[in-house]
Chain A
């Protein structure tokens, strides 16, 4: 059971990086590739149908952390306290930007929330690099090398976001990319998480919740697993191609 739950946890975290990676990547590319409001609108509309299905992977990561590694959950989050707070605020601002940008008229309004999306995406990407570095080395939450790793994660996400734009809005960002390219750039975005997961596997397995808890959880999740996977696949089938329907985000 411990191994199975570790696999679930690993897939969720790596999956979060691969999926939300392109949302955040497109977000932090807004000031770079979206010089005009119309271009920013198209960039946001490209990721919009995927965001809700992607960011929820992190919600599930945190829930699995509490359920499967309750002994570690507090320790990990508490050791990174200021970083976790900054990452949460970044995430909140990014989401608020997406939900609010089209809710009132005026270029100023939309530009303001686009800034929130870009800043929030950058903060979250940098935060992930710093957090992974701190967890891997046991250093404090804020470390010069950690900041470098954060910059690397932000670059990896930007590359992934750029590839995503090349795949969904062919030619928009100067490139046209295939589904295979997107898969590869997803792997690049997920690499930092995968590396840390490989290193931490033994430690995590040792600190799993008792098997009674894991079995109970497993029995309750299994019936829903096909629906969960099916819903995610449905999102990709439904929104593969972009069109002229006005975006809600």
Chain B
């Protein structure tokens, strides 16, 4: 394996790890915001419990999303400085917007939401989680502007040795973006919904005391996942209009990713909106179906990884389609020893944290709402 392959593998592994957590963050954020709002409206203790339970899962998942994201941001300079040298004047702009505006606000409001429990006025607290949701989607939008530019470089003038930004509007209306962004959002909603359904199925199957909470959660999850699947599949097919000719031909990795992603997509399309949604009133009571619902939870995660494989491997050998190859985008002077060292460090640490994180999420799901610490009341003694 040469140095380019190693650098690609490092980006692919950290990127996929990042997205596994990001997709659930994007999917759960609006769900938590919805239940938080309902709680603010009704003042019902059940809604409070529901907000705290799903909020706790959302936050544990968020942790690894952040730390993998940090590593992603710095990799552009570490291993792909050829990209910023050639197209930094263009590609840098959406990344700057994402970090300076969208994520900056998201992180600030997230801190206010987590630690503002019992401290901020009720509606300001609710506003925080909606702002976190909105800025998370804005983040995804800016990142997708950057990614779509790599897929289909528009809005630039080619100066030979570098690209110059001429029209940011063209970047925002890139045909590689306008269908891909809602496709991703749909996939995130599907993931968030299916995780809610799977975790609720576990609790309902075990007949824990929180039947009311998980009955509601399962129904909310099914409705949101159904909307998500329809969005994903609809915009998924619409995307093909903007895909470069021959992208998936003679490219085994991309074709494989695309094929299996579509397979999972079709399966979910058949089951979620056309079987689960019409039966949404009965699903929480049918215990025999709960193991099947639990087994379905990993499917959206698998599909998004396959989808990224199709999109990113399909771009090979280009970093920027038709303009800059991946090999030319690599930092000049990068050695296998350097990438090998950083890859081992990043993959080792982030991989371990990802495993721990999923174990912690599973623990919350297993122990149920009573053990949740988010928004716990102050201890009366001491």
Q: A246 and B73: CB pair below 8 A?
A: no
Residues of chain B from 86 to 131 with CB closer than 8 A to chain A in the complex: 88-93, 95-101, 103-105, 107-112, 114-120
The 8 Å CB contact of B338, one of A53, A64, A67, A81, is A81
Q: A84 and B96: CB pair below 8 A?
A: no
- Inter-chain pairs besides A63-B97, A64-B99, 14 sampled, C-beta below 8 Å: A63-B73, A68-B92, A78-B334, A85-B341, A89-B345, A89-B346, A91-B70, A103-B60, A209-B88, A209-B92, A216-B93, A220-B101, A235-B112, A248-B114
Interface size class of B (residues with CB under 8 A): 35 or more
Q: What residues on A are CB-neighbors of B95 within 8 Å?
A: 63, 66-67
Q: B165 and A62: CB pair below 8 A?
A: no
Q: B98 and A63: CB pair below 8 A?
A: yes
Q: Which residues of A contact B (CB under 8 A)?
A: 48-53, 55-57, 59-60, 62-68, 70-71, 73-78, 81-82, 84-85, 88-89, 91-93, 95-96, 99-100, 102-104, 209-210, 212-213, 216-217, 220-221, 224, 227-228, 231-232, 234-235, 238-239, 243-248
How far in angstroms is the closest Cβ of chain A from B171? 10
Q: B111 and A92: CB pair below 8 A?
A: no
Q: What residues on A are CB-neighbors of B70 within 8 Å?
A: 59, 88, 91-92, 95
Q: Which residues of B contact A (CB under 8 A)?
A: 59-60, 62-63, 66-67, 70-71, 73-74, 76-78, 80-85, 88-93, 95-101, 103-105, 107-112, 114-120, 164-166, 168, 331, 333-334, 338, 341-342, 345-346, 349-350, 353, 356-357, 360, 363, 373-374, 376, 378-379
Closest A residue, CB atoms, query B107: A56
Q: What residues on A are CB-neighbors of B357 within 8 Å?
A: 100
The 8 Å CB contact of B77, one of A60, A73, A96, is A73
Q: What residues on B are CB-neighbors of A234 within 8 Å?
A: 108, 112
Q: What residues on A are CB-neighbors of B99 within 8 Å?
A: 59-60, 62-64
- Enumerate the 3 nearest inter-chain pairs by beta-carbon distance, A residue then B residue, closest first: A70-B88, A74-B81, A67-B96
The 8 Å CB contact of A213, one of B89, B107, B349, is B89
